[in-house]
Amino acid sequence: MTAEIREVGAEAGADLHSVVQDAFLHRPALDPPAEALSETPATLAAALDKGGGLLAVMDGRPVGGLVFDDLGDLLALRRFGVVPAAQHHGVAHDLIRASLAHASVTGHEGLTVLAREELPANVGFWLSNGFSEIGRHTPYVEMVRPLPRRHVAPDPEAMRALGAGLAGSLQAGDLLLLSGELGAGKTTFTQGLGAGLSVRGDVTSPTFVIARVHPSLVGGPSLVHVDAYRLGGIEELDDLDLDTSLDEAVTVVEWGEGIAEPLAEERLEIRLHRATGADVGDETRTVEMVPVGARWLGVPL
């Protein structure tokens, strides 16, 4: 079954109320009780009238939903719930995807939610969906997910310029994971980063040495350039004999997706792709920057 996700306003107050009651009443009892249980169709209609929201519908029946709350740079997801009968059908993930799309259109930098400390499974759900904890205010865990940024690089020069531009937003300790098929431009992008960071030495593919350290020429962070293509896992990555602490460098790991994430909870995942349907010789690449963690909120990407 696939849910239809609708953007809704005050007219959906009663439908969202039925979802909230069903979803929250089936959760473990909390002390203090979940504030959502004090909602009425009228209060939810007022909240939807102010900020809008989403309603998930299956077979003509509301099965999930949420209220948007505009916090300025962040868009908060309130009263997020899926009825028990519709759980494990991807409804919650569909609501998150629709929320990301809405936040992008409305100019927000990210999403934020409050999860209850007493419900570790709920906290784990948000963590598994790209949210990071930024604070605790008992009984709540505050979590955020910055929005991805997408760029188009028509040629290698533009790819280098994109890397050089990003360099100005980086600092020591930052981890960048680059992914993409062979020839997607990972090393070209890193060359731009090296130029923007003003590091010593030519940035080339590290395939044959696995890792290179490029010290700064201007007193900034070094660039650690790693190729994880031939590494078997995080253990082998940890065993690399690097000449600098990763806390003191900007670390770029090519082919790092699925291997290098444990190096840092907060990181920037950069996915490079050839343009879909491109002609032979077309050098156009799409670049998706997916920030993970509160470090990237407000950072120009």
Q: Has residue 183 got a pLDDT over 90?
A: no
Final residue belonging to a domain, choices 126, 146, 166: 146
Question: What pLDDT band is residue 115 in, cutting at 50, 70 and 90?
Answer: very high
pLDDT in the model for residue 70: 97
pLDDT in the model for residue 138: 92
Q: CATH number, domain at 234?
A: 3.40.50.300
Statement to judge: residues 127 and 8 lie in one domain = yes
The upper half-sphere exposure of residue 216, i.e. CA atoms within 13 Å in the direction of its Cβ, equals 16
Statement to judge: residues 121 and 190 lie in one domain = no
Question: What pLDDT band is residue 206 in, cutting at 50, 70 and 90?
Answer: low
Statement to judge: residues 13 and 142 lie in one domain = yes
**φ, ψ for residue 106, nearest 5 deg:** -85, 0
Statement to judge: residues 158 and 98 lie in one domain = no
**For residue range 193-203, what is the model confidence (pLDDT) as tens digits?**
999 999 998 88
Residue with the larger pLDDT of the pair 96 and 238: 96
Statement to judge: residues 288 and 181 lie in one domain = yes
Statement to judge: residues 180 and 191 lie in one domain = yes
pLDDT in the model for residue 118: 94
Supply the range of the domain harboring residue 261.
149-294
Residue 155 lies in a domain: yes
Q: Has residue 64 got a pLDDT over 90?
A: yes
pLDDT in the model for residue 207: 60
Residue linked to tokens 């439908």: 15
**For residue range 265-280, what is the model confidence (pLDDT) as tens digits?**
899 999 999 876 656 5
pLDDT in the model for residue 208: 59
Q: Has residue 240 got a pLDDT over 80?
A: no
For 38, 69, 91, the CA distances from 77, given in Å and listed in that order, are 17, 6, 15
Residue 300 lies in a domain: no
This prediction's pTM: 0.79
**φ, ψ for residue 166, nearest 5 deg:** -65, -30
User: Rounded to whole angstroms, how far apart are CA atoms 248 and 220?
Assistant: 9
Helices (H), 110-181: 120-128, 156-167
Chain Cα centroid distance, residue 263: 16
User: Rounded to whole angstroms, how far apart are CA atoms 82 and 92?
Assistant: 7
Q: Has residue 88 got a pLDDT over 60?
A: yes
What mean pLDDT value characterizes the chain?
90
Helices (H), 114-233: 120-128, 156-167, 186-197
Statement to judge: residues 232 and 272 lie in one domain = yes
Spell out the residues 6+ positions from residue 174 whose beta carbon is closer than 8 angstroms to its own: 221, 250, 251, 267, 268, 295
pLDDT in the model for residue 301: 87
Q: Has residue 6 got a pLDDT over 60?
A: yes
Q: Which tokens is 9 given?
A: 């306003």
User: Rounded to whole angstroms, how far apart are CA atoms 81 and 25?
Assistant: 11
Final residue belonging to a domain, choices 130, 146, 162: 146
**Across 232-260, average pLDDT:** 72
Q: Please tell me the total count of domains within the chain.
A: 2
Residue 299 lies in a domain: no
